[in-house]
Every structure is written in C-alpha cells, then in structure tokens.
C-alpha cells in the first residue's frame, strides 16, 4: 500500500514537472511566435513602404517625364532613329516611339490628353486672372508675351517649361494655339500680387489686387509711341553652305540698296557646332531655332518657314529685339533679292497686308484645300484672291496669328500634297480662316516664261551696276526678284541648284565660285540690254533672261566677291 502511494506520489510529481516544463515550452513558443509575428509584421511594413516609395518615385519620374513632354522635344535633336507617327495634328497628336516603350506610353499625349488639356486651360485661366488680361490679348507678339510672362512669374512664382513649349510647337499638343505662347507653371496657392515691369521709364505692365484690366497703351513704351513702325525682313533657312551664300547675297543686297529696318535669318538648325559665315552688316542678325523640318524619318523642309516665323514671333528664341505688335514683318524667301530701296508700308493695317501675285490659279482650292477652309473658300471672287505668296507683309501681331495657324495647316495638309507649293496653299487658307485680307500686288518677278509676272512694269537699269526695277503708277509695298528658275542665254546657263556645294567660308574664289559667261555670251548680253521686255516674243524672252541674270547672278557674284574681299584676304595674308 505504501509502495503504491509512493509510486502515485512520484507519478504526480513527474506529471507536475512535465506540466511545468510544458508550460515553460509553451511560454517560450508563445514568445517566439510573438517575435516571429512582429518580425513578419515589420517585414511586411518595410516591404509595403518600399513598394509605395518605389511606386511614388516611379510616379514622380513619370510625372517628370510627362512634364518634359515626349523626351524633351524628341530628345532635343530629333533623333532620326526615332519612328514618330503623327496620326492627328488638329487636336492632340498621338504618337509612339520604338525604344523605352513604357516611358513612351506614359509620356505620349495619348495617355491622359484630356487631363493635359484641362491643365493647360487652368494655367491659361490662372494667367488671365492674375494679369487681368483678356484671352484676345494673348495674340500679341513674343516680345510682349515674354515680358508678361516674366512679370507674372516674378509676381506669383513659377517658371516657363521650355520642353513643354517646344513640344507644343512641334506637335500642337496644347490644343489652344494662343496658349502655346504662355505655358507657365504657376504656384497657385500664392495668388496674384502687385508687380510692375518698367521699360524706358514707363510702366509696361502693372497689376492690382482687384485684377483691373490694363489700358492697351500701357503695353507700349514712350519710345514706341513716338516712332514709326519698324520693318523686319525675315527669311528661313537651314544650316548649309547652299543657304549661306544666298544669305550673303541678301545681306549685301539689303545693305547696298539701303533697305529700311532689319534683316533676320531664322536658322532652323540642330547642329550647335555649325559655323556661320562672318558678316559686318549692323542691321542683320541670325536667330537660331530647332529644325522643324525633321519629323522622325520625315525630312520635309517646307515646315521650317511657318514654324520658324511663329517660333520667333512667339518669343521662344534668344532674340531680344522682337517686333512690337504694330511693327511690320515681311516674310521673304532666301532666294529673293530687293530690286529697290522703295518700301511703302502705308497699306499695312490691322488684319490687312500685302502679298505677291503667283500663278497658282484657283483650281487647287477645290482639289486640295476645301476640307481645310472651314467654309471660308466656298466663294472666290477672283482667282488672284487665292493665288499669292512671298513676300507676305503684315503687322507683327497679324503675322503671328497667321503663322500659328499656317504651321498647323502645313502639317494637316501634308498627307494630301507633297509639292513645294503647299506652304503657299496653307498660308492662303490660314489668311481666309482668320479674315486677314492680302492686297495682291504684281511686285515679284523671276520667270521669263510667265506672262502673269509684271514684265510690263520691268525697266532696265541705267547702267551695268544698276539693276532693273519695277515701275508702277501705284507705289508697291516692296519689289523683289525671285531666282527660283533656270536662266540661260546662248551657251550660258545659271541655276541656284548648280551651287549646293558652294561654300563661301572656304575663301577659295578660284575653285569655289559661279561659272561666268564666255566672251561671246557677254557680247550677246550687252547687245540685248535695252530691248523691250513685253509682250512675249523670242527676242523679249532672251532679253528677259539677260535682265534676270543681271538682277540675280551678277548681284550674287558681287556679294560673294564682297565677302571674299572683306573676310578672306586677311586669311590669305
């Protein structure tokens, strides 16, 4: 009995010890479970935050990429390896690119276009509210725009997004043409403040807390109020020796003829290392800008003229001497030469300008233009109303309006017409849609076979050194010769396209110059000078070619000789 009780006692003690041990193990397991759970919780928290942080960083990167709008204007150099497909240039442009597909999809305008449009609308509203301006006031020239933007930035904070501006121009992403000029990133919470910009001692722009509207006169300095309109003769080129010698011809001609105002070369060039020829004409300057002709694999230089004019007037270049609204801009071609110093700008008014008659006819409107006219081409009173081209002469504010729509139309019409006349068609349609009326003058000459050109007005110069002119009873706004044809007499032939490789920078006049007429050709030219130029006969056709060679080849040759004398003899010495 005692033995049984002892065994029971030992068993009970063993059981108690096992229970204690089990309890300790259980407590230990519970602690380990808690530690493990805590560790898992912390790991989950860490991983979750890391994921969220990564997501935020990625979103931030995408937002930054989005702000740069399509890889900082197609990677800033229009990489030819990029395959850009433009499917709609009238609203937001949809395009895709081959590398970095994820980034492209996130930054392309087809991702959230409507949101971007609302953002642009809000920015425009903020700008207008902050400055007290009206939307129609935005159609001023870049000089005024830059000053308004500068003043507003100083007043409320913010910056101009250059990449967005360039992309807006290149792809028409903004949707609001006027607001392409005013892409400003603001700090909305600060609201409008008082600020003022002073030009020539006169308040240029001021603002009050009540957002009062400004008097239009405040936009014009005291100097501007007193002076007559200035003339800016502008021409668009690329960076090439071919365009360099044409520019030199215009420089020499502009200076020798004493043409009023400034001569501006809009250089569409993506090569910052390209060295331009020297010059010493104080009224001439070069303004660099992107080459708008390069659109992925589509290299079409016709784009450059309207895009360059709009880009320049909107103030996106580094040119600080832009036209004021009421100054006059004459958009000419690089292969034009001024025939006379007489420039008459009296007919240039608001919404009214002057252009030159061309033999385009009017059938192109029905065949190529109606769908782009918005009903403004249904009635054409006279074929000359839709048959004109450069020089286009307008007040700067109207030239800006024209160029903004002109450049868009060039792209919209591109799939339907590949001719070199397309920029002329687009300019005519843009003018009709904007109710800009051009007086079409017979002030351009350049084709010996064209009966529409003003050969009845052409007169010979008084001497070999005096080129011919156009004599009209009514004063012409401007008169030019346009060397877009081939000119010949006897065995001599001259065309600008024979001299694409002529590089005046080489300073090699013996091996790098025009071919000149032979002695026999020169004798025939001398005998022909003074012959009647109209009406058209075999004799007058020969005389016209001599007249044009005197006005073109001789002037260009003289210009290149002048360059060699001024800038190359020192090199040789």
pLDDT of residue 459: 95
Both 179 and 238 in one domain: the answer is no
Strands 437-441 and 352-357: parallel
> What is the 8-class DSSP label of residue 213?
P
Which CATH number does the domain housing residue 455 bear?
A: 3.90.550
Q: Do residue 292 and residue 397 come from a single domain?
A: yes
Low-confidence ranges of the chain (pLDDT < 70): 1-226, 464, 570-573
Predicted pLDDT at 297:
82
Q: Looking at residue 570, what is its pLDDT? A: 53
The answer on 253 and 221 residing in a single domain is: no
pTM: 0.68
In this structure, are 101 and 197 located in the same domain? Answer: yes
Residue 168: in which H helix or E strand, if any?
A: helix 162-171
- 241 and 340: one domain? yes
How many domains are there within the chain?
3
Residue 209, domain member (yes or no): yes
| 138 lies in the same domain as 167 | yes
Domain boundary pick from 227, 260, 282: 227
344 and 414 together in one domain: yes
Q: Which domain holds residue 330?
A: 231-480
H-helix or E-strand containing 237?
A: strand 231-238
**207 and 321 co-located in one domain:** no
| Class of residue 266 by CB neighbours under 10 A (exposed 0-12, middle 13-18, buried 19+) | buried
Single out the residue in 23, 40, 68 at which a domain terminates.
68
Q: Are residues 59 and 83 in the same domain?
A: no
Does a structural domain hold residue 509?
A: no
Give the pLDDT confidence of 256-307 residue by residue, as tens digits. 999 999 999 999 999 999 999 999 999 999 999 999 998 878 888 999 999 9
Please give the order of strands across the beta sheet that includes 480-482.
336-338, 480-482, 444-445
For residues 104 and 220, membership in a common domain is answered with yes
For residue 530, is it within any domain? Answer: no
| Residue owning tokens 């005519």 | 428
Residue 237 · residue 246 · CB < 8 Å? yes
| Same domain assignment for residues 176 and 259 | no
Q: Which of 43, 68, 93 is the last residue of a domain?
A: 68
212 and 259 together in one domain: no
Give dist(CA 436, CA 444) in Å, integer: 21
């Amino acid at each position: 009995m005692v033995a049984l009780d002892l065994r029971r006692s030992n068993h009970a003690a063993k059981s108690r010890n096992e229970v204690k041990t089990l309890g300790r193990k259980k407590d230990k397991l519970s602690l380990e479970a808690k530690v493990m759970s805590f560790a898992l919780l912390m790991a989950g928290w860490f991983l979750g935050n890391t994921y969220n942080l990564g997501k935020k960083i990625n979103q931030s990167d995408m937002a930054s990429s989005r702000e740069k709008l399509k890889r900082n204007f197609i990677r800033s150099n229009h990489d030819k390896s990029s395959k850009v497909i433009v499917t709609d240039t009238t609203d937001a442009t949809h395009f895709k690119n081959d590398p970095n597909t994820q980034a492209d999809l996130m930054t392309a305008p087809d991702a959230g276009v409507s949101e971007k449009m609302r953002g642009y609308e809000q920015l425009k509203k903020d700008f207008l509210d902050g400055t007290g301006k009206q939307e129609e006031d935005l159609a001023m020239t870049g000089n005024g725009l830059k000053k308004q933007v500068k003043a507003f930035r100083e007043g409320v904070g913010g910056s101009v997004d250059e990449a967005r501006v360039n992309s807006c121009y290149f792809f028409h992403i903004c949707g609001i043409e006027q607001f392409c000029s005013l892409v400003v990133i603001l700090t909305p919470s600060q609201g409008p403040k008082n600020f003022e910009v002073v030009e020539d001692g006169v308040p240029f722009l001021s603002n009050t807390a009540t957002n009062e509207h400004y008097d239009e006169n405040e936009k014009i300095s005291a100097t501007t109020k007193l002076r007559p309109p200035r003339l800016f003769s502008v021409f668009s080129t690329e960076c090439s020796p071919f365009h360099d010698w044409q520019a030199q011809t215009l420089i020499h001609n502009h200076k020798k003829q004493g043409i009023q105002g400034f001569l501006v070369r809009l250089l569409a060039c993506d090569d910052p290392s390209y060295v331009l020829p020297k010059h010493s004409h104080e009224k001439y300057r070069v303004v660099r800008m992107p080459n708008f002709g390069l659109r992925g694999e589509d290299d079409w230089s016709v784009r450059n003229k309207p895009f360059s004019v709009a880009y320049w007037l909107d103030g996106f270049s580094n040119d600080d001497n832009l036209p004021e609204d009421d100054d006059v801009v004459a958009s000419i071609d690089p292969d034009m030469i001024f025939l006379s110093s007489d420039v008459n700008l009296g007919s240039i008014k608001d919404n009214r300008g002057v252009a030159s008659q061309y033999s385009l006819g009017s059938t192109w409107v029905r065949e190529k233009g109606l769908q782009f006219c918005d009903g403004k081409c249904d009635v054409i009173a006279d074929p000359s109303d839709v048959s004109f081209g450069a020089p286009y002469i307008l007040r700067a504010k109207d030239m800006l309006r024209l160029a903004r729509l002109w450049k868009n139309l060039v792209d919209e019409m591109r799939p339907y017409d590949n001719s070199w006349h397309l920029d002329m068609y687009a300019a005519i349609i843009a003018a009709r849609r904007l109710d800009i009326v051009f007086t079409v003058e017979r002030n351009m000459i350049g084709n010996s076979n064209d009966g529409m050109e003003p050969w009845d007005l052409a007169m010979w110069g008084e001497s070999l050194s005096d080129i011919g002119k156009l004599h009209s009873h009514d004063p012409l706004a401007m008169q030019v010769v346009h060397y877009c044809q081939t000119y010949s007499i006897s065995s001599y032939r001259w065309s600008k396209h024979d001299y694409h490789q002529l590089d005046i920078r080489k300073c090699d006049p013996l091996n790098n110059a025009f071919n000149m007429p032979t002695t026999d050709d020169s004798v025939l030219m001398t005998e022909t000078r003074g012959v009647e130029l109209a009406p058209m006969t075999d004799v007058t056709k020969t005389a016209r070619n001599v007249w044009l060679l005197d006005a073109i080849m001789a002037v260009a040759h003289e210009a290149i000789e002048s360059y060699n004398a001024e800038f190359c003899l020192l090199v040789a010495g």
